[in-house]
Amino acid sequence: MLLANHPLLGKTIPGDTASRLNIRAADDTARFSLRIDPAAVQSAGTAFGAPLPTRIGGMVEAGGRTALQLGPDEWMLMAPVAEGDGIVDAFSALGETHSLVDVGHREVGILVEGEAASLALRSAIAFDIDAMPVGTGCRTIFDKAQIVLIREDKTRFRIEVWRSFADHVWGLLQAVSREIALGI
Amino acid sequence: MLLIRCPYCEAERPEVEFTYAGEAHIARPTNPSVLSDDEWRDFLFIRSNPRGRHFERWRHMHGCGRFFNAVRDTVTDKFAMTYRAGAPRPSDEEIALAATSAATRAKDARP
Ligand SMILES: [Zn+2]
């Protein structure tokens, strides 16, 4: 990835105490946008090296790889950076018609963790975060910026945001962390 | 915040994720060159614009990305039901049934 231009590299918002809220930039990762006929989802899973979910919002994590279904024929795939080229090779050998686009440089990840994580996200996301099941993800709007939100655990979320919007999202998270720390 | 049910995501999602896309069930003429200028104008520009029940297109732009159809009351802004693009215009009975089940579903909605 073009780390020299990474807007959030190494940044952290410590929050009030480590247990209540901790926000930090996620480690670099390989990312792909996959479009394929849902009928071919099994062979796509074989190419990816981990099964793909079959329900919009569903997510499967296996062997360090993550697949999230965003639309009827759209998946977001994530894997360790070093495995990105291998995934491209595997898909180019796939017989099914598909589109696999490397979007690794387009986005940055932000980890929002702690007891107050859903409270922090609620400040800029319109749907009921607490009702979001663990192990699911979806595209949505954070303030005015489009993001993908993943609930990794009850108190741990991951935001995937286009790098040009990352500063905006980060600034709002900084402000809300301050509000939570002050108890307002 | 208005919640709209996306028939592809099968979930109630906030209004900000959606964009409006005009009246539904307007089929493009199969052979435009046989149409008169007036007929072509009607296809392009003339819409029913009712006061009350309206069949319309929406797009889950910042979600799954899909276009779908909705039945909405233009006076109350209440959505009676949504259904997938390509499905036929629902009947009065289907709309009434969908509105009832939406009321029960609202209690255990998932985001
Ligand atoms: Zn949708």
Confidence of residue A63 (pLDDT cuts 50, 70, 90): very high
Per-residue pLDDT reduced to its tens digit, A140-179: 999 999 999 999 999 999 999 999 999 999 999 999 999 9
For chain B, helix (H) and strand (E) counts, in that order, are 2, 6
Residue B110 has pLDDT above 60, yes or no: no
Q: Topology of domain A30-102, per CATH? A: Alpha-Beta Plaits (3.30.70)
Per-residue pLDDT reduced to its tens digit, A2-16: 566 778 888 888 776
Q: Closest to A71 (Cβ–Cβ): which among B10, B64, B110?
A: B64
Residue A20 has pLDDT above 90, yes or no: no
C-alpha–C-alpha distance, residues A133 and A56, integer Å: 13
How much is the pLDDT for B108?
Answer: 56
> Average per-residue pLDDT in chain A?
93
Q: How far is the centre of ligand 1, averaged over its atoms, from the C-alpha of B71 (Å)?
A: 16
Nearest residue to A2 via CA among A103, A111, A86, A150? A103
Residue A90 touches partner B, C-beta closer than 8 Å: no
Contacts of A149 in chain B (CB under 8 A): none
DSSP secondary structure letter of residue B99: H
Contacts 24+ apart (CB under 8 A), A91-95: A91/A34, A91/A44, A91/A47, A91/A48, A93/A47, A94/A43, A94/A44, A94/A47, A95/A43
Distance from CA of B51 to the nearest CA of A (A): 29
Q: How far is the centre of ligand 1, averaged over its atoms, from the C-alpha of A13 (Å)?
A: 32
Residue B111 has pLDDT above 60, yes or no: no
- Give one word for A142, left, alpha or beta, with left for phi > 0 and alpha for psi -120 to 50: beta
C-alpha–C-alpha distance, residues A142 and B55, integer Å: 29
Q: Closest to B17 (Cβ–Cβ): which among A72, A132, A140?
A: A140
Q: Which two tokens stand for residue B79?
A: 């959505």
Compute the average pLDDT of residues A61-84: 97
Displacement of CA A35 from its chain's centroid (Å): 17
Task: Please report, for chain B, the start and end positions of each structural domain, with discontinuous segments joined by +.
Answer: 54-100
How much is the pLDDT for A16?
Answer: 67
Tell me which chain B residue has its CA closest to the CA of residue A75.
B64
Q: How far is the centre of ligand 1, averaged over its atoms, from the C-alpha of B55 (Å)?
A: 18
Is-contact A181 A170, C-beta < 8 A? no
Tokens 């192990």 belong to A135
Torsion of CA A63, A69, A73, A79, to 10 degrees: -30
Residue A73 touches partner B, C-beta closer than 8 Å: no
Compute the average pLDDT of residues B4-23: 96
C-alpha–C-alpha distance, residues A87 and A63, integer Å: 13
Per-residue pLDDT reduced to its tens digit, A73-93: 999 999 999 999 999 999 999
Contacts of A162 in chain B (CB under 8 A): none
Residue A131 touches partner B, C-beta closer than 8 Å: yes
Q: How far is the centre of ligand 1, averaged over its atoms, from the C-alpha of A182 (Å)?
A: 37
Is-contact A48 A33, C-beta < 8 A? no
From the candidate CATH numbers 3.40.50.300, 3.40.5.50, 3.30.2270.10, 3.40.50.1370, the one assigned to the domain spanning B54-100: 3.30.2270.10
A126 and B1: CB-CB below 8 Å? yes
Task: Please report, for chain A, the start and end positions of each structural domain, with discontinuous segments joined by +.
Answer: 13-27+106-182, 30-102
How much is the pLDDT for A42?
Answer: 96
Q: Which two tokens stand for residue A183?
A: 């108890």
Q: How far is the centre of ligand 1, averaged over its atoms, from the C-alpha of B3 (Å)?
A: 12
ipTM of the complex: 0.89
Nearest residue to A116 via CA among A159, A154, A168, A150? A154
A71 and B1: CB-CB below 8 Å? no
DSSP secondary structure letter of residue B104: H
How much is the pLDDT for A171?
Answer: 96
Query: Global pTM?
Result: 0.92
Is-contact A87 A30, C-beta < 8 A? yes
C-alpha–C-alpha distance, residues A25 and A7, integer Å: 9
Architecture of domain A13-27+106-182: 2-Layer Sandwich (3.30)
What is the SS3 string spanning chain A? CCHHHCCCCCCEECCCCCCCCEEEECCCCEEEEEEECHHHHHHHHHHHCCCCCCCCCEEEEECCEEEEEEECCEEEEEECHHHHHHHHHHHHCCCCCEEEEECCCCEEEEEEECCCHHHHHHCCECCCHHHCCCCEEEEEEECCEEEEEEEEECCEEEEEEEHHHHHHHHHHHHHHHHHHHCCC
A74 and B64: CB-CB below 8 Å? yes
Q: How far is the centre of ligand 1, averaged over its atoms, from the C-alpha of A117 (Å)?
A: 25
B64 and A131: CB-CB below 8 Å? no
Q: Closest to A141 (Cβ–Cβ): which among B9, B62, B64?
A: B62
